């Protein structure tokens, strides 16, 4: 009861701060990209992610990160993560900021959301229509080739939708299979996100006080001699084991 009461008190402050940051950083992103190109835009997005993560702490939440395993900078990286809420993007983006993370998102998110949509359209991420194979397949292929060309990190959520109770859902292999084929040298890294689902537990009515958010990069998957399905299964198994859901 105390958590909910504090949540109701702090929710308006958090909501106002969070969305104000998105609206403020939208024109800043536009100006940075116009004047300084990709690098300036990237630094602006990093600053925005930092501010958004600090804003979450208004609700009494804690934000933590596991140590990164040794990762190459001369090969693309495929981040395979469980998905709990929209806050996962800020967690993953900040943890992997030096690897220029890009995302596979729903096409609906590429329009109408301040800062978020602009970054998805102009920061190297892609939006796919899961109901339109003719659009999604070539888009994913081009995305994988883009990651390979620039040695960036690309994040995909194989569950296909958010796990609103924190329980990891079945990982679908199709999207990752296309990325693996388009970027055959990519290192596959499972990502375990914890606690972000709790923020949306009541649909922001309210946000429970004191949620514990954490993002952890697990050991890279050894792809040698394994099919795509086996790689995806290993990612799912390792994430579930880390989260205590095995």
When mean pLDDT is compared across 51-60, 116-125, 198-207, the lowest value belongs to 198-207
pLDDT at 89: 95
pLDDT at 132: 75
pTM for the predicted model, two decimal places: 0.94
Read off the pLDDT of residues 15-25 as tens digits, 9 standing for 90 and up: 999 999 999 99
Of 47, 39, 26, nearest to 118 by C-alpha is 26
Read off the pLDDT of residues 90-104 as tens digits, 9 standing for 90 and up: 999 999 999 999 999
On whether the 2-242 domain is CATH 3.40.1130, my answer is: yes
How many Å separate Cα 157 from the centre of its chain? 8
Read off the pLDDT of residues 210-233 as tens digits, 9 standing for 90 and up: 999 999 999 999 998 999 999 999
pLDDT at 204: 76
Looking up tokens 């395979």 gives 80
Per the model's pLDDT, the better-predicted residue between 6 and 110 turns out to be 110
pLDDT at 134: 78
Q: Is the per-residue pLDDT at 184 higher than 90?
A: yes
**CA 5, CA 208: separation in Å to the nearest integer?**
8
- 12: burial class by Cβ within 10 Å (0-12, 13-18, 19+)? exposed
In the chain, where the domains are located: 2-242
Read off the pLDDT of residues 110-159 as tens digits, 9 standing for 90 and up: 999 999 999 999 999 999 987 777 788 999 999 999 999 999 999 999 99
- 186: burial class by Cβ within 10 Å (0-12, 13-18, 19+)? buried
Mean pLDDT across the stretch 163-183?
A: 93
Is the torsion defined by CA of 66, 70, 72, 73 positive or negative? Answer: positive
Burial 16-33 (b: 16+ CB within 10 A, else e): eebeebbeebbebbeebb
pLDDT at 71: 96
Contacts of 61 (CB under 8 A, 6+ apart): 195, 199, 210, 211, 212, 213
Mean pLDDT across the stretch 233-239?
A: 97
**CA 197, CA 232: separation in Å to the nearest integer?**
22
Looking up tokens 């329980």 gives 167
Is the torsion defined by CA of 129, 134, 136, 138 positive or negative? Answer: negative
Q: Is the per-residue pLDDT at 205 higher than 90?
A: no
Q: Give percent above pLDDT 90 in the chain.
A: 84
- 39: burial class by Cβ within 10 Å (0-12, 13-18, 19+)? exposed
Mean pLDDT across the stretch 193-211?
A: 88
Contacts of 50 (CB under 8 A, 6+ apart): 94
The pLDDT-based confidence of 200 (bands split at 50, 70, 90) is confident
212-217 and 187-194 beta bridge pairing: antiparallel
Tell me the average pLDDT of the chain: 94
């Amino acid at each position: 009861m105390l958590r909910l009461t504090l949540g109701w008190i702090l929710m308006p402050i958090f909501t106002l701060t969070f969305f104000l940051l998105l609206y403020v950083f939208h024109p800043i992103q536009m100006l940075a990209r116009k004047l300084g190109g990709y690098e300036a835009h990237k630094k602006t997005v990093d600053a925005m992610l930092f501010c958004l993560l600090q804003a979450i702490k208004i609700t009494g939440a804690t934000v933590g990160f596991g140590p990164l395993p040794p990762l190459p900078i001369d090969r693309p990286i495929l981040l395979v993560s469980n998905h709990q809420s929209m806050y996962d993007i800020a967690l993953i983006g900040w943890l992997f900021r030096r690897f220029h993370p890009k995302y596979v998102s729903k096409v609906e998110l590429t329009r109408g959301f301040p800062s978020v949509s602009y970054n998805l359209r102009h920061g190297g991420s892609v939006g796919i229509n899961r109901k339109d194979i003719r659009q999604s397949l070539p888009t994913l292929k081009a995305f994988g080739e883009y990651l390979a060309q620039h040695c960036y990190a690309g994040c995909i959520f194989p569950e296909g939708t958010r796990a609103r109770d924190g329980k990891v859902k079945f990982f679908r292999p199709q999207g990752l299979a296309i990325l693996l084929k388009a970027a055959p040298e990519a290192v596959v890294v499972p990502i375990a996100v914890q606690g972000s689902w709790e923020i949306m537990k009541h649909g922001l009515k309210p946000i429970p006080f004191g949620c514990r958010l954490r993002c952890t990069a697990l050991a890279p998957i050894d792809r040698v001699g394994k099919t795509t399905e086996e790689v995806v299964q290993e990612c799912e198994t390792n994430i579930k084991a880390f989260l205590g859901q095995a």
